[in-house]
Structures are given as C-alpha cells and as structure tokens.
Amino acid sequence: MEKCSLCGGKIVNHRCVDCGMPYPEKPHYTLRSETAHTHNVNGEEVLHRVRSAAGKDPVYTCDAEDEQDRIDLEGARPHLHAPARQLNQTRRPAQDKRRGGWLVTLIIFGLALLPMLFNLSERVFYSLADLGGRSSYAETEAPEASIHAEAPAEDMTGVNPYEGLDWGLPTAGGGFGCILEPGYYTIGQQIPEGVYTITPDDGSSLTMTHDDEAHDRWYQTTMLSCPEGGEPELVLTNVQLAAGGTLWVEGSGTLTLESGNAQLDTQAEPQGNPAGESFELCAWGDDIQAYTVGQEIPAGVYDVNWNQGSGFLGWDTQGSYHLTYYGGDGFNGTVVFHSLPLTEGDTLTLECYSNEDCILWLTPVAEIYG
C-alpha cells in the first residue's frame, strides 16, 4: 500500500487520510506490451509508443529498474505535490516617495504660475479698456450703434460728413455770420438754427464736435485746419445746425460760420449770469484736484483762463466727459475756452503735467441763455 510522503499516512482515492495532501493519478505503464513495437530507422531500432484503443493515457515502455528509480525520486521530493505558496508583494517606500515628490513639484509649479496668469489677464483687460476709452468725449452708446462696433474705422480726412444730409430745416430765414473761438455753443442760443458753411481761419487748427440727440443721435467730430498764408484743408458745407444741438470747439484759432437761412426769430434771448465772481483753480505737483459745482464753485457759465503751467482740464457733466490738454507759453494768461456751462453736480478736475504747478481762472460771462 502506498503511503503519504509527507506524514506517512494512508493514501485513499489519491488523497492522504491524515494530512489531506492530494496525489495525482499516476499513469500506468506496460513493460514491453504487445501494443509497443520498434522500427528500424537508419540502422537503429527505435521504440514506437502508441495510445491504447480505449483512449486512455499514453502507454510508456520502460523497464522495472527505471520505474523503481522514478518512485524513489518522487518520494524524496514531496514538495513537488505541495500547493504553491502565495507571494505577498509590498511596494517599496522609496517608490512612494518618488511619486509623491513629483506630485508636490507639480503643485508648487502650478501655484507659481497663478500670479503670472493673473497679471497677464489684468494687462489684457486694461489694454482693451484703454482702447475703448481714449476719446476726449465719452457717452453711452445707443443699442443700434453697437451693431456696427466691429466695423473697421473709416478714414474721413478731407471728407465732408454733411454732404447730402437733409434734416428738413426751414429754407427761409435771414443771413447770419459769426466767428467762433474754442468753446461750448448751443444751437438756438449763441448760434441760431440754420444750414451753415464753416471755414477754418488762417493759421487755425481746431477740432469741432457736433452733437445732436434729436436727429438720429448725431455725433460727429471733424478736424478743421488752415496753414498760415494757405488754403483751408477742408471747408464744411450744408452743415445742418438744428436747435438743441451743441458745438464743442477746441484747439487754437477760429472758425467762421455763415448761413443764408438762419432762424433769427426763434433764437433765445440772453439772460443774466447767476455766477458773479471769478474762481481760481490750482493743482500742485503730481496732485489731482477735483472741484464740485454747487459746492466749491457756483453754477453758471464761465470763460476759462489758463494762467500757469501745463496740464489737463477735465469736465464731467451728467454722463459726458471732456478732457483737454493746455500748456506752453501761448496759452498762459489767455482765454482758452469760452462759455463753459457748469450745472450743480458737475465736476472739474485739474491735473498737472510733469509735476508742474497749474493755475487757471474761471471768469463768469456777461450773459447766458436759459
């Protein structure tokens, strides 16, 4: 009877009854059975082993001595039948440290990039804001005007924007002419309503902004200049000046206005100016001074006299903003802007250029229009 090679117990049905160790079924061998035969291959006898007819395991041929050697060898190596041991693999701490180091490096690198990305986005934002706010006269755009916001700017140099324009102004009227210096003028008050021809005078270089909310939100800025001893670069004809509109003229020199159908009968009558005293506005060095109308300055209409230094004068009035630069010996002590209307709540700001001290005077005009 075959015994267990591990504990010496009895083996029944290929398993030890004492320790439970399994034993595979051993193949059967037939010594020199009649199912085996030899062939003569190249002068040498070769044994040919064949499977039994019942489909059992292959029949091997060996002698008794080989069989005993196999049994002895198998009994001496019981571990060949033992179940395989399970190997528990554990990750080395060094590998974890290396992976953790890469993660920490990525986090630190990302945090270092955050300020750079923030500064870049801030620069882009302020650049876009600066592109949209360089005009000296800013106001809220109409919804229908924003449709063409992305259209490329059209070069209007030397082009008369009033050509072919017709606002239906009366054709009958009287003759009227005047000379405008830099200042703020209201149509129907200082200038009667009508169709005009506007010519820059000799040696003038001016910017004229025509604003009329009542006629399709008209807002047109035109450069008008004439070299000394030369001809005007542009003369505006068919300029439709309707009552309620305004002209903002700034720069140096004068403009000549002429009309053959001025509505003199509808022109407003002048009134007295509520402002009776002059006021000095000052800014020192890099300081910016702000003055509120109705608090530091009484409401009224003023001429602006620039007395000292170079700088910027800003005027913020009910949603519109004007910013003008004044400087140089040619401006000091002269009236640089006429008929500036200041109402309660408006703000004037004075900012010096290159840390120069700036001084200007506001002088009330004699008559205004209500």
Is 233 a residue whose pLDDT tops 50?
Answer: yes
Each residue's pLDDT tens digit, 33-71: 555 566 666 666 666 665 555 555 554 555 566 666 666
Which SS3 state, helix, strand or coil, does residue 76 take? helix
Q: How far is CA 19 from CA 36, 59, 86, 131, in A?
A: 39, 32, 20, 92
Which SS3 state, helix, strand or coil, does residue 74 take? helix
Length of the chain counted residue by residue: 370
Q: How much is the pLDDT for 94? A: 53
List CB contacts of 37: < 8 A, sequence separation 6 or more. 47, 48
Mean pLDDT of 67-85: 55
Each residue's pLDDT tens digit, 341-354: 999 999 999 988 87
Each residue's pLDDT tens digit, 251-308: 889 999 999 999 999 888 888 888 888 989 988 888 889 999 999 999 999 999 888 8
Q: How much is the pLDDT for 124? A: 67
Mean pLDDT of 109-123: 73
Q: Token match 């015994």: residue?
A: 3
Question: Cβ atoms within 10 A of the Cβ of 209, count?
Answer: 18
Interatomic CA distance for residues 358 and 332, integer angstroms: 10
Interatomic CA distance for residues 367 and 1, integer angstroms: 141
Interatomic CA distance for residues 132 and 225, integer angstroms: 26
Structural domains for the chain: 11-80 (no CATH), 174-268 (2.60.120), 271-369 (2.60.120.10)
Q: How far is CA 253 from CA 19, 185, 204, 282, in A?
A: 121, 16, 4, 26
Element holding 317 (H helix, E strand):
strand 311-317
Each residue's pLDDT tens digit, 210-219: 999 888 889 9
Is 103 a residue whose pLDDT tops 90?
Answer: no
DSSP 70: H
Interatomic CA distance for residues 120 and 74, integer angstroms: 79
Q: How much is the pLDDT for 95? A: 56
Q: CB–CB of 360/281 below 8 Å?
A: yes
Interatomic CA distance for residues 9 and 4, integer angstroms: 5
Interatomic CA distance for residues 218 and 52, integer angstroms: 113
Better-scored residue on pLDDT, 334 or 100: 334
Q: How much is the pLDDT for 138? A: 40
Q: How much is the pLDDT for 231? A: 92
* Lowest-confidence pick of 18-22, 198-202, 226-230: 18-22
Is 327 a residue whose pLDDT tops 90?
Answer: no
Q: How much is the pLDDT for 142? A: 43
* Lowest-confidence pick of 35-39, 74-78, 204-208, 335-339: 74-78
Q: How much is the pLDDT for 275? A: 86
Q: CB–CB of 35/27 below 8 Å?
A: no
Query: In the beta sheet, which residues pair with residue 17?
Result: none
Highest mean pLDDT, choosing among 49-53, 114-118, 122-126, 356-360: 356-360
Indicate the pTM of the whole model.
0.56
Query: In the beta sheet, which residues pair with residue 300?
Result: 342
List CB contacts of 158: < 8 A, sequence separation 6 or more. 233, 234
Each residue's pLDDT tens digit, 3-19: 887 788 888 877 888 88
Task: Give burial (CB, 10 Å; 0-12/13-18/19+) of 262.
Answer: buried
DSSP string, 84-127: PPPP-----HHHHHHHHHHHHHHHHHHHHHHHHHHHHHHHHHHH
- What percent of the chain clears pLDDT 90, i.e. is strictly above it? 34
Element holding 368 (H helix, E strand):
strand 367-369
Q: How much is the pLDDT for 238? A: 96
